[in-house]
Homo-oligomer: A and B are copies of this chain.
Amino acid sequence: MTLIVQKYGGTSVADPDRIHAVADNVAITKKRGNDVIVVVSAMGKATDNLISLADQVAKKQSGREMDMLLTTGERQTAALLTMALADRGIDAISYTGSQVGIITDTAHRKAKIIEVKGDRVRNSLAEGKVCVIAGFQGVSTDKEVTTMGRGASDLTASALAQAMGADSCEIYTDVTGVFTADPRIVPQARKLAKVHFDEMLEMAGAGSKVLAMRSVEFARNHDVPLHVRSAFTWEPGTLVSNEEPSVEDPIISGVVTDMTEAKVTVLGVPDKPGISAALFEPLAAANVNVDMIVQNTSTEGRTDISFTMPMADLDEATSIVQQVAAEIGAETVTHDNDIAKLSLVGAGMKSSPGIAAKMFRVLADEDVNIQMISTSTIRVSIIIPAGDMERAARALHTAFDLDSGADYSAPLPTRK
């Protein structure tokens, strides 16, 4: 018997019509002779609405109580989908994260999975039942309800697929897969048939919203291939796995764009040990999520340090940095929220030198001024003015042959 894990995100189960559509797909999968575990998110904006309610009743909220509150959204979807399945003659049963035995540590709102027991799921599957599981949640080692952070329903799905030895893990969402670029920005963007875990991780880090970074990390570490696909068109999507790219594969898999960050620059920083720590420790303590950091070689004992962070954190970051700058004797602090981050990601970079150089040449030809550069083995990220972002992304997409119709699609796991 083939065991398939299917995860449906919030937009996929946003209303009764969507739940009917999802129930149809689960029923088909089951009737084809598969064992099925379904993981669901909260319906549409349910979680946002709960957070808004919490904001209206209390200025600050304890993690424990937020977890008690937010876990109800996924439980509602799980019960509703289970009823819709029963109506289709499918024997199904819903479980909370706690009932499944998803044991986490005690860090509310960002708990880490310690163990997936899964006894009740195993028994129910043996009885021929479809198990519908509330995503995003578990129970801590001290018996409290926990959640694992936004987007963690993907993590629930990967963890269950691994613990139950599933044959495939399908992540249903509102896009048809992973694209070479955001089609709203680069019209000629194409869906990728396959992506390596490492590429997906870099894409997530670069701002792609298709899969949450933690879920990809878990799937990679436990080698759980994820099939990202649409719950609206049901067409084959993108397989995210550890399959190494072949020589025929393009060097670059995608251009990732991100308009959600802002930049702070500290000018004239005395170049001596401990300066970076003095700057970034208070930011970390204030939970400012610093992304790119660039520091240049100093001239005349002084250097400039720039970093980016989510735009929402800009005011707090600026006020912290201004205080620190005064203490360490830096000259001045500037900030800019009119920026875009643009990244090239491709596993092929490892064996293809000169990608960054070509990227800079393309942008120079487009008259795009690069403000910051940061690289990893398979990624080059730059910060450019926001107004240049579309032009730059399209030019790079073309220059790196992502427009072409070259057929390099890998065979997808067969639907059984």
- What chain B residues lie within 8 Å of A293 (beta carbons)? none
Identity of the chain B residue whose Cβ is nearest the Cβ of A57 in the assembled complex: B84
- What chain B residues lie within 8 Å of A65 (beta carbons)? 79-80, 82-83, 86, 94
- Measured CB to CB, the closest approach of chain B to A90, in angstroms, equals 11
In the complex, A387 has a CB within 8 A of chain B: no
Q: Which of A34-69 contact B (CB under 8 A)?
A: 50, 53-54, 56-62, 64-66, 68-69
Q: Are B86 and A58 in contact (CB under 8 A)?
A: yes
Q: Are A87 and B64 in contact (CB under 8 A)?
A: no
- Measured CB to CB, the closest approach of chain B to A72, in angstroms, equals 4
- What chain B residues lie within 8 Å of A80 (beta carbons)? 53-54, 57-58, 65, 69
Q: How far is the CA of A101 from the CA of B11 in the complex (A)?
A: 36
Q: Are A60 and B87 in contact (CB under 8 A)?
A: yes
Q: How far is the CA of A227 from the CA of B63 in the complex (A)?
A: 34
In the complex, A195 has a CB within 8 A of chain B: no
Of A19, A65, A96, the most chain B CB neighbours within 10 A belong to A65
- What chain B residues lie within 8 Å of A69 (beta carbons)? 75-76, 79-80, 83
Copies of this chain, tallied across the complex = 2
Identity of the chain B residue whose Cβ is nearest the Cβ of A120 in the assembled complex: B143
- What chain B residues lie within 8 Å of A19 (beta carbons)? 57
Q: Are A68 and B87 in contact (CB under 8 A)?
A: no
In the complex, A16 has a CB within 8 A of chain B: yes
- Measured CB to CB, the closest approach of chain B to A46, in angstroms, equals 10
In the complex, A302 has a CB within 8 A of chain B: no
Q: How far is the CA of A16 from the CA of B143 in the complex (A)?
A: 29
- Check A75/B78 contact, CB under 8 A, given A58-B86, A62-B83: no
Q: How far is the CA of A58 from the CA of B81 in the complex (A)?
A: 9
Q: Are A61 and B83 in contact (CB under 8 A)?
A: yes
Q: How far is the CA of A62 from the CA of B93 in the complex (A)?
A: 10
- What chain B residues lie within 8 Å of A93 (beta carbons)? 64
- Check A76/B87 contact, CB under 8 A, given A56-B16, A57-B20, A94-B65: no
Identity of the chain B residue whose Cβ is nearest the Cβ of A52 in the assembled complex: B16
- Check A86/B68 contact, CB under 8 A, given A57-B19, A76-B50: no
Of A80, A93, A99, the most chain B CB neighbours within 10 A belong to A80
Of A62, A69, A83, the most chain B CB neighbours within 10 A belong to A83
Q: How far is the CA of A191 from the CA of B18 in the complex (A)?
A: 50
Q: Are A86 and B57 in contact (CB under 8 A)?
A: no
- What chain B residues lie within 8 Å of A76 (beta carbons)? 50, 53, 69, 72
- What chain B residues lie within 8 Å of A56 (beta carbons)? 16
- What chain B residues lie within 8 Å of A87 (beta carbons)? 57-60
Q: How far is the CA of A58 from the CA of B103 in the complex (A)?
A: 32
Identity of the chain B residue whose Cβ is nearest the Cβ of A98 in the assembled complex: B98
Q: Which of A293-307 contact B (CB under 8 A)?
A: none
Q: How far is the CA of A340 from the CA of B375 in the complex (A)?
A: 80
Nearest 6 A/B pairs, CB to CB = A72-B72, A16-B56, A58-B83, A69-B79, A68-B79, A58-B87
Known pairs A68-B75, A68-B79, A68-B94 / 8 extra A-B pairs, C-beta < 8 Å: A16-B56, A50-B76, A53-B80, A61-B86, A62-B83, A64-B93, A65-B79, A68-B78
The residues of A with any CB-CB pair to B shorter than 8 Å are 16, 19-20, 23, 50, 53-54, 56-62, 64-66, 68-69, 72-73, 75-76, 78-84, 86-87, 93-94, 96, 99, 143
- The 14 sampled A-B contact pairs (Cβ below 8 Å) are A16-B57, A50-B76, A54-B79, A57-B87, A58-B86, A58-B87, A61-B86, A62-B86, A65-B79, A68-B78, A68-B94, A68-B96, A69-B75, A72-B73
